[in-house]
Homo-oligomer: A and B are copies of this chain.
Amino acid sequence: MRLTIQREYLAQSVQDVMKAISSRTAIPILSGIKMVAMEQGVTLTGSDSDISIESFIPAEEDGKMIVEILEPGSIVLPARFFAEIVKKLPQDTVEIEVQASHVVLIRSGKTEFNLNGLDAEEYPRLPQIQEEHVFKLPTDLLKTIIRQTVFAVSMSETRPILTGVNWRVENGELICIATDSHRLALRKAKIEMEHHLSYNVVIPGKSLNELSKILDDTNEAVEIVMTENQVLFKTKHLLFFSRLLDGNYPDTSRLIPTDSQTDVIINAKEFFQAIDRASLLAREGRNNVVKLATLSDNKLEVSCISPEIGKVTEEIQCEAIEGEELKISFSAKYMMDALKALEGTEIKISFTGAMRPFILRPLHTDSMLQLILPVRTY
């Protein structure tokens, strides 16, 4: 293998595939980046066997020469060193040449690195996915959907299925649900698909977080392919594979209350800031719990007492409070996470008593919902 490549394209591609590479891997070759040079361009692959990322650098793009392949071939490079070296090379162009015994010469200007590589034949094969049925989402919408749900997955391996986000496709709609059994995030979106197919899979939260980091903020479509045990996200030059979680996701629909006793319409930002301030003292307690009480004249009171430090109380003027009086306690962190995810200015919070889960939604759409279980303190 021998080639010349534009450094900035190589650096971007390396940075993308590095997202899949773990510093602690049981399979030594997976600490490397596989590089394959063919006439059309160069393909880089990184994997931790749960996530695999393939990035393609075309020989030419928009009439600009990016890679010159002098001799096709393949090699596995030590990922961490290769990534740092590429970042720090002195010139815009980099020469890469595989020599005897898998030694790789990397030259730029008067700088020469010789890195000990590994045989690309030893690198595990990526999952083969037959792309019969795909559906599409704009990149920016995909990132929003991930952001609005993934924070609610469970961090505990007690119930592994809850560490993933449930993606269901039915009737031309994608429904994403995450819950750690103390709170739940739900987001729906219409999707483009040719055949009306149904899927019900659970994607690891970690995979979605990494995918989100790697995607640009464009509205170009991402193609999504689902199989029994893998999901593939495809953009122009990137393939992102993730394994799916085994098992059935619990039915969460019965958790979501359909009636309500107290409805509050409130400015999300003001409410967030009040909870944030109360949380300064609540964090000192063992569970970061704040109290909320309805007052007269459409006012809410947020409060928190920490016997050692002191106390905080705050009044918030709401747009409307309808229904019964209420005193309720909940985790400040869950509330702040939910308010961040909703990103609306005016939201509606529907309570069904102090001991029942309550839900938050934007005022004018039912495409998303956040649910929080209260904490018993009153």
Contact = CB atoms under 8 A, between A and B. Distances in A.
Most buried by B among A88, A116, A274, A280: A280
Contacts of A88: 273, 276-277, 280
A110 B315 contact: yes
Contact of A113 (B78, B110, B116, B311): B311
Contacts of A312: 111-114
A199 interface: no
Interface string A77-120: 01001001100111000000000000110000011111110000
Interface string A310-330: 111111100000000000000
Given A314-B111, A315-B110, A85 B277 contact: yes
Contacts of A81: 280-281, 309-310
A93 to B, nearest CB: 16
A114 B309 CA distance: 8
A366 interface: no
A103 B309 CA distance: 10
A228 interface: no
A78 B273 contact: no
Given A84-B280, A88-B277, A280-B85, A114 B311 contact: yes
Contacts of A90: 273, 277
A62 interface: no
B281 A316 contact: no
B112 A313 contact: yes
12 contacts: A81-B280, A84-B280, A88-B277, A90-B277, A111-B312, A112-B313, A112-B314, A113-B310, A115-B309, A115-B310, A116-B309, A116-B310
Interface of A: 78, 81, 84-85, 88-90, 103-104, 110-116, 273-274, 276-277, 280-281, 308-316
